[in-house]
Chains A and B, each alone.
Chain A
């Protein structure tokens, strides 16, 4: 067994990935990603998506986690991209609410 230590890379706003890397990491197809961008669920950090060919888009590394979730939902529930976009929007909203709830709980006294 190898005793080498591997470095885990954080998904942060500081690093970005190209469309083909996102395809590879998420398991979505390039067409599905383009559609999710059109639905406004995924947003490239490069210039407005309409002005650049999709091959030149770059995404924040945090998009990888969203893309992987999208891919799981698509496979496990047989969703089309519109259904996927809706589910992801709701999940994002739930997460924002949970974060807000957590913040409020943090400032509550025991």
Chain B
């Protein structure tokens, strides 16, 4: 079993008071809570902080944890021989011989659960399974067609004798057409298993779209930068542009400006339930050739002479 230094995670001394532990937790929770934090790895860090607090705020769990001794974080260790007898009510059968793959937190959580079970009587004990959350990164092409993905789900399962095991299973999930960035989905019954006949938890998915080299995404609308030559912008033109559902001809009106948005209806991402697809916006960018031929230079020169256009007229 790998050691975790819960005191170090919360940044408190081993002898810290309950109050100090609570204060330390609150501070870190505000910093790393995934619902409010913009820190990188906030979720990961918050999980560690939450786990440490879960153990240290509970006098019983904290005592059991303290009695395990102190090791380096990540170090493989085994609790002292008499630890099981003192702290683990129904779990002596667990034997502490093969704790290799047991998670320290699961072991500590199991103690309380074992006790609660004993107190209430086995027949009465019914608990719904835990809900799981998973972040899923998908490609733009995938949400257009819909996609099947495999999600590894780490779950903690308690056997009848009160022992806990952490297992990873894979759940195959079909993401329907119409999902987009930031959207949430639910797979009913695919969370943790319930106990004593309790219902299974659900699996919640949070969709994140991988950045695309051409399209920027806003909900179901897409934005595509379309470079045009100065004469195309001035005279108008027809340009072939890509969309996720194939190429289309974009009509660039005469006198177009840089940054102008032209809407191509229904060429964005599909909406769920067969709703009308989002739109694609072509954002015009006027580009000038970096190298001009002699002929081009001459023509530009003629244009400069012939034109009375003053782009800075408003400066006065």
Contacts and interface: CB of A to CB of B under 8 A. Distances in A.
B172 A3 contact: yes
Contact of A1 (B169, B174, B186): B169
A91 interface: yes
A72 interface: yes
B225 interface: yes
A91 B187 CA distance: 25
Interface stretch (A4-12, A28-36, A37-45, A46-54): A4-12
8 contacts: A6-B190, A8-B186, A10-B185, A11-B184, A72-B33, A91-B35, A99-B218, A107-B259
A11 B29 contact: no
Interface string A10-32: 11101000000000010100000
A9 B188 contact: yes
B26 interface: yes
A12 B272 contact: yes
Interface in B168-189: 169-176, 178-179, 183-188
Contact of A69 (B29, B35, B285): B35
A76 B29 contact: yes
A11 B216 contact: no
B174 A76 contact: no
Interface size class of A (residues with CB under 8 A): 20 to 34
B46, B131, B175 interface centre (most CB from chain A within 10 Å):
B131
Interface in A67-110: 68-69, 72-73, 76-77, 87, 91, 99, 102-103, 105-110
B173 A5 contact: yes
A91 B35 CA distance: 8
A91 to B, nearest CB: 7
Contacts of A108: 259
Contacts of A65: 184
A1 B170 contact: yes
B178 A72 contact: no
Closest 4 CB pairs of A and B: A8-B185, A106-B223, A106-B216, A5-B172
Interface of A: 1, 3-12, 14, 25, 27, 64-65, 68-69, 72-73, 76-77, 87, 91, 99, 102-103, 105-110
A84 to B, nearest CB: 11
Contacts of A102: 218
A96 B258 CA distance: 27
Given A7-B187, A106-B223, A107-B223, A76 B218 contact: no
Given A73-B35, A91-B35, A64 B186 contact: yes
A76 B33 contact: yes
A50 to B, nearest CB: 29
Contacts of B179: 10
Contacts of B190: 6
B7 interface: no
Given A10-B179, A72-B35, A77-B29, A5 B174 contact: yes
B176 A7 contact: yes
Contacts of A27: 131
B281 interface: yes
Nearest to B224: A106
Contacts of A9: 176, 185-188
B205 interface: yes
B67 to A, nearest CB: 28
A58 to B, nearest CB: 17
A11 B225 contact: no
Contacts of B272: 10, 12, 14
B55 interface: no
